A and B are shown apart, each in its own frame.
Chain A
Amino acid sequence: MSVFSDETTRARLEVDAKEIIARYPRERSALLPLLHLVQAEEGYVSADGIAFCAEQLGITTAEVTAVATFYTMYKRRPTGEYHVGVCTNTLCAVMGGDEIFAALKEHLGIGNDETTEDGKVSLEHVECNAACDFAPVVMVNWEFFDNQTPDSAKSLVDDLRLGRDVKPTRGPDRLCTWKQASRVLAGFSDGLATQGAQAGAPSLAGLDVARRNGWTAPDPARPAAERADDVEGDAK
């Protein structure tokens, strides 16, 4: 029996769905967060999940399916508790992402887009995750694990399978599960926003150089002509 036919679950999800829909001027805009919501319930977007979304928005299941299959974050098969994404776009691949991905496949005994038998870890190679200055990058449940090596990535997945606490490099103090992560994506707060670092070392690289050299943006309180003199003075 599908979770969506259980009356209490359904009632709870309908309240969530209403809240999501209310955020938008037009109902249909709620479809992406609704798909995140059903993924939060089952770990993937099932046929029942699609039917639930369609009903909430008064559109057909074909319309929802067309959208669900377009976006890579929606999984069409059950996904592990931890989704491990290894960036193998060019920059990360060159810096060692390919080696990390190969090491994890061998270590876990699974291929791309597969899940370990214990249902703990799903492995996938992912595209550039906007963290190239932290290459090679691994994402777990879409949290950053920066500057990885094959060894660090192997012990990371070991910890995940053993249920040990794992802390992202730039993220909350503790990793949440795939389902919990999907719920955050649907727009429901888990109260963890203020945990973790504000910035990783590479994010501060330029600021460090500026601080050490006493460089700042121009002082708006000083007239431009005066500032131009400084520059000329420097050149002399």
Chain B
Amino acid sequence: MTTLTPVLSRNWDRPDSFTLAAYRETGGYQALRKALTMEPDAIVELVKSSGLRGRGGAGFPTGMKWGFLPKDNPNPRYLVVNADESEPGTCKDIPLLLANPHALVEGIAIASYAIRSNTAFVYVRGEVLHVIRRLRHAVAEAYEAGLLGRDVLGSGFDLDVVVHAGAGAYICGEETALLDSLEGYRGQPRLKPPFPAVAGLYASPTVVNNVESIASVPSIVANGAEWFTSMGTEKSAGFGFFSLSGHVTRPGQYEAPLGVTLRELLDMAGGIRAGHELKFWTPGGSSTPIFTADHLDTPLDFESVGAAGSMLGTRALQIFDETTCVVRAVGRWISFYAHESCGKCTPCREGNYWMVQVLERLEDGRGTEADLDRLLDICDNLLGRSFCALGDGATSPVTSSIKYFRQEYLDHLEHGGCPFDHAKSTVWGGGR
């Protein structure tokens, strides 16, 4: 049986958890002290051996990313923390920053020292005002206490941290679009290579990491790589947030070792809401192919979820019961992708536009069976042919829903509209 492993969330039930004083009382900033006595490269090696993989969706090994920074580039180096959290279903970084911003600030200090950067940015989505206040407050407290700024803790290491509020654009979560946005331009992805490690912010060597990735670093420095790898699986080490939302009795954040299953998580969360049963779910946000009740025992690690035909993504488990119309759900997600497509490349810009049209008529019962092939055709032209992963991601809900629920699409045609009563899916309409 897998048990929960609260690390980043372990102090969240203290009403003052977001303050420097509270963070210190639970051991905060000890890891930074330790890190500053180590060689920067030794920290990079430590993070490599911990097996920490990016928590922002793609799962790239964090230590390896840090190691890619060229040694001979004379430009300043930058750490950019991705706090754009906008992938539908993803809701972990925002509560983390609200309750425990110092975990990120300490992680930034350690990571910056390790990669020899003296300036770090946190790009936070703009639509979370209080989170931005909390994070700025934590940064100010850290400056005040000598944990940031000139000569951090007397080590001779200087570090400035700038909190930058975005302005509403999902695509700015894509790391190169984020860099363009941070440079003051429209947030559109850049051609890779060069990767940010070589030419990132201001064409300088840059590491872009997710909030949770960086916030996990202090625990690794404090407790060691072996401690970290004692959780999770061989190739998906450590712990992470599993965010349960939707038709579940107790939705919320569950910090668990990677490899936990939805069945185990649902057990802890009181199951699917009373009187209903699981129909479909996303393992890692709307860009990851949906799963069904057949996948309740799939270990939620990068390899197992991949082998089962989806992606671990951001561990955003959006849970839908049998009252939910899958055609409606997918249609809404595709409207999102169409709205958020940055317009740079044709397959994504046009493909999503057409998918919205086709899905609308299917939902209204005005479509034809040939429309399903049309959708799959458009997906063929999107997947692997779009300029960035937003376009690829848009195909996930479409192809997976047709795979598992083809008949439900056809039911809309036969019924001449949606056969579901949407009121039953609501929080207040679920009674039987």
Query: Which residues of A line the B interface, CB within 8 A?
Result: 23-26, 28-33, 35-36, 57, 66-67, 70-74, 85, 88-91, 93-96, 98-99, 126-136, 139, 141-144, 147, 149, 168, 170-172, 181, 184-187, 189-190, 192-194, 196-211, 213, 215-218, 220, 224, 227-228, 234
Contacts and interface: CB of A to CB of B under 8 A. Distances in A.
Given A133-B245, A170-B98, A206 B427 contact: no
Interface in B263-289: 268-269, 286
Contact of B252 (A24, A35, A133, A144): A133
Given A198-B18, A206-B252, A128 B86 contact: yes
A57 B185 CA distance: 13
Interface string B386-404: 0000000000000000000
B381 interface: no
A164 B359 CA distance: 43
A141 B132 CA distance: 13
B256 interface: yes
A228 B70 CA distance: 39
B89 interface: yes
A90 B164 contact: no
A198 B16 contact: yes
Contacts of A31: 184-185
Nearest to A59: B184
By size class, the interface of chain B is 35 or more
Contact of A89 (B202, B224, B332): B332
9 contacts: A71-B166, A71-B187, A73-B166, A89-B332, A90-B286, A91-B246, A127-B336, A194-B18, A220-B223
B202 A25 contact: yes
Given A73-B127, A130-B86, A193-B133, A94 B167 contact: no
Contact of B3 (A73, A93, A215): A215
Interface in B241-274: 242-247, 250-256, 268-269
A228 B143 CA distance: 41
A95 B247 CA distance: 8
B280 to A, nearest CB: 11
B38 interface: no
A139 B94 CA distance: 14
Interface of B: 1, 3-7, 9-10, 12-19, 76, 85-91, 93-95, 98-99, 119, 125-130, 132-134, 136-137, 140, 162-170, 181-187, 202, 219, 222-224, 226-227, 230-231, 239, 242-247, 250-256, 268-269, 286, 316, 318, 320, 324, 328-329, 332-333, 336, 339-340, 422-423, 425-429
Given A73-B127, A210-B6, A202 B250 contact: yes
Contacts of B126: 36, 73, 142, 185
Given A132-B318, A198-B12, A203-B99, 20 more contacts: A28-B184, A29-B183, A72-B169, A89-B336, A90-B88, A93-B332, A94-B426, A99-B423, A128-B86, A132-B316, A142-B129, A189-B136, A197-B15, A201-B252, A203-B98, A205-B250, A209-B254, A209-B269, A220-B227, A228-B230
Q: Which 9 A-B pairs have the closest CB atoms?
A: A205-B252, A202-B252, A206-B254, A193-B137, A71-B167, A31-B184, A132-B245, A220-B223, A72-B168
A228 B230 CA distance: 8
Nearest to B1: A234
A227 B129 contact: no
A220 B226 CA distance: 9
B253 A187 contact: no
Name the residue in A74, A93, A143, A172 with the highest tally of chain B Cβ atoms < 10 Å from its Cβ.
A93
Contact of A187 (B127, B165, B286): B165
Name the residue in B125, B246, B247 with the highest tally of chain A Cβ atoms < 10 Å from its Cβ.
B246
A174 B141 CA distance: 23
A147 B137 CA distance: 27
B168 A71 contact: yes
A72 B336 CA distance: 13
A24 B85 CA distance: 23
Given A135-B246, A199-B98, A149 B427 contact: yes
A150 to B, nearest CB: 9
Contacts of B427: 95-96, 135-136, 147, 149
Contacts of B165: 32-33, 36, 185-187
Given A194-B137, A198-B17, A205 B254 contact: yes
Nearest to A188: B136
Nearest to B95: A203
B133 A199 contact: no
Given A33-B165, A199-B12, A220-B222, A89 B127 contact: no
